[in-house]
Amino acid sequence: MANIELIATTLLGMESLVSREIKSLGYNNVKVENGRVIFKGDEQALCRGNLWLRTAERLLLKIGEFTALTFDELFEGTKSLPWHKWIPENAAFPVKGYSLKSKLFSVPDCQAIIKKAVVEKLKTRYKKQWFEENGPLYPIRFSIMKDRVTLMLDTSGESLHKRGYRQVSNEAPLRETLAAAMIMLSDWRYDRPLIDPFCGSGTIPIEAALIGTNTAPGINRDFISKSWPNIPKKLWDNAHNEAHDMIKNNIDLNILGSDINSKAIKLSQDNAIKSGMDKHTMFKQCALKDFSTNDKYGCIICNPPYGERIGKLDEVEKLYIEMGNIFKKLDTWSFYVLTSHEDFERLFGKKANKNRKLYNGMIKCYYYQFFGPRPPRKKTT
């Protein structure tokens, strides 16, 4: 199998989590940059990465990298790369990308030049003057940062946050990748209760159940590179068989999602069924003022309204005060709250033990982490 370089793109602030995931898959040659994590592997790593990465947005296959200050340099640099090793004669290969802090700042012009250069390269390989592009899709992605050009193929297709269980969502949904990150940054473990009192479409409870059962997040979705003849079907079969063998079906989880909106509860239940996590999660309609639990040493992980995309600001601030009054009764619990409100701690009535900047789409948010006491160790006999 080939030795290839893969790039896992991330939301800002989540690079270290993606790096940790990649290393847990057994790939240790890892380099972390802003918004992406680079590692080396083979075609099997491409399959496993797509299936298993919970907090990455896409998995890209790096074709090459060079410096370009002019459009001629962009053309010649692109043409010199081994596109024929990946793109077959009948493939479709649309081009998308971005340019930041570079002399080549016109994205449409860069797209056109890269496309033309790839065509010229393939002409010399396949001895053709015209390509119908009616075969498998090989999306070309480029980034130009400070005049440094990186050219890649998108192996994922739809973003990895699209697990396949959330065809319909509520207003202002939380990305699945961000929900997984919130859980992984908490001290929640499968043997502790987890509650999301603002569950919306059920994303946090479902992602927690996927993590708790060690279910690969991409196990029920498709990937664009599955149609590539360069990736033998056997490799995908191996990756899927491994993922199925790793699932802990018999694990006992205590995961609850609640919401004041009955439609949100129905949506959460439907999404849990689609994800296969319905037997590991519970959902109930409940206003925050009626929230209570008899469980000890659990975690509340939630994404309440911010007052930006959903909820009026004055109502949201009253909600945060109410959260503080209710949550302080749970003195053995840990709380993890994502919000863009910079005055959350004052309203909540307590300073967080830790605060981490994360991005929910284009909204800069803060992940406030309030650590409760550690649960007592279970006695062994």
Give pLDDT tens digits for 62-78: 999 999 999 999 999 99
Residue 380 pLDDT grade (very low, low, confident, very high; cuts 50, 70, 90): low
Asked if 142 and 110 count as a contact pair (C-beta separation under 8 A), the reply is yes
Write the CB contacts of 58 (distance below 8 Å, at least 6 apart in sequence). 8, 9, 154, 155, 156, 159, 160
194 & 320 share domain: yes
Query: What was the pLDDT predicted at 265?
Result: 96
Question: Do 258 and 341 lie in a common domain?
Answer: yes
Residues 282 and 149 in one domain: no
- Is 70 exceeded by the pLDDT of residue 250? yes
The DSSP H or E segment spanning 99 is strand 95-100
CB 274 within 8 Å of CB 165: yes
Residue 219 covered by a domain:
no
Q: Does residue 380 lie in a domain region?
A: no
Rounded mean pLDDT, 272-281: 97
Mean pLDDT of 126-142: 93
Q: Let me know if residue 107 belongs to a domain.
A: yes
Task: Tell me the longest C-alpha to C-alpha distance in the chain.
Answer: 76
Task: Report if residue 168 sits inside a domain.
Answer: no
In the chain, % of residues over pLDDT 90: 88
Share of the chain above pLDDT 70, in %: 97
* Position 313 pLDDT exceeds 90: no
Distant-in-sequence contacts of 71-74, Cβ < 8 A, 24+ apart: 71/104, 71/109, 71/113, 74/104, 74/110, 74/113, 74/114, 74/117, 74/149
Is residue 255 a part of any domain in this protein?
Answer: yes
Q: Are residues 242 and 355 in the same domain?
A: yes
What are the pLDDT digits (tens) for 338-347? Answer: 999 999 999 9
Is residue 69 within 8 Å of 110, Cβ to Cβ? no
What is the DSSP pairing of strand 30-33 with strand 36-41?
antiparallel
Range of the domain at 49: 4-154
Q: Looking at this protein, which amino acid is placed at residue 63?
A: I
Region 137-147 average pLDDT: 97
Q: Domain check: are 363 and 251 in the same one?
A: yes
Check residue 208 and give its pLDDT. 98
Together in a domain, 182 and 315:
yes
Quick check: 139 and 97 in contact, CB under 8 A?
no
Is residue 164 domain-resident?
Answer: no
Whether residue 188 is found in the same domain as residue 242:
yes
Tens digits of residue pLDDT in 6-49: 999 999 899 999 999 999 999 999 999 999 999 999 999 999 99
Identify whether 166 is part of a domain. no
- Residue 239 CA to chain centroid, in angstroms? 19
Q: Per residue in 160-169, pLDDT tens?
A: 999 999 876 6
pLDDT (0 to 100) of residue 169: 64
Rounded Cα distance between 33 and 23, Å, is 15
**336, 369 Cβ separation under 8 angstroms:** yes
Burial bucket for residue 147 (CB in 10 Å: 0-12, 13-18, 19+) = middle
Residue 325 has pLDDT above 60, yes or no: yes
Question: Would you state the pLDDT for residue 158?
Answer: 96
- Domain shared by 198 and 332, yes or no: yes
Pair 230, 132 in one domain: no
Q: Note if the pTM is more than 0.85.
A: yes
Cα separation values, 188 from 100, 183, 371, 372, Å: 38, 7, 11, 11
Helix axes 43-52 and 233-246, enclosed angle (nearest 10): 40
pLDDT for position 361: 82
Mean pLDDT for 231-238 is: 97
The CATH number of the domain holding residue 254 is: 3.40.50.150
Alpha-carbon distances, residue 333 vs 89, 111, 193 (angstroms): 59, 52, 9
**HEC letters along 62-94:** EEEEEECCCHHHHHHHHHCCCHHHCCCCCCECC
Residues 229 and 135 in one domain: no
Q: Give residue 227's identity as a one-letter amino acid code.
A: S
Mean pLDDT for the chain overall:
94
Give the separation between CA 276 and CA 257, rounded to whole angstroms: 16
Measure the CA–CA gap between 352 and 305, rounded to whole angstroms.
19
Q: How confident is the model at residue 264 (pLDDT cuts 50, 70, 90)?
A: very high
The verdict on residue 282 lying in a domain is yes
Residue 307: the pLDDT is 72
Looking at residue 351, the DSSP 8-state letter turns out to be -
The whole-angstrom separation of Cα 58 and Cα 56 is: 6
Q: Model confidence over 216-225: pLDDT tens digits?
A: 999 999 999 9
DSSP 192-235: S-EEETT-TTTHHHHHHHHHHTT--TTTTS--GGGG-TTS-HHH
The reply to whether 204 and 348 lie within a common domain is yes
At 172, is the pLDDT very low, low, confident or very high (cuts 50, 70, 90)? low
Task: Indicate the number of domains in the chain.
Answer: 2
Pairing type for strands 354-360 and 363-370 reads antiparallel
80 and 150 assigned to the same domain: yes
Residue 119 three-state SS: helix
Instruction: Band the pLDDT of 311: cuts 50, 70, 90.
Output: low
Q: Does pLDDT of 310 surpass 90? A: no
- Give me the pLDDT at residue 349, please: 97
Residue 105: pLDDT over 80: yes
pLDDT at position 154 is: 98
- The encoded tokens of residue 155 equal 């192996």
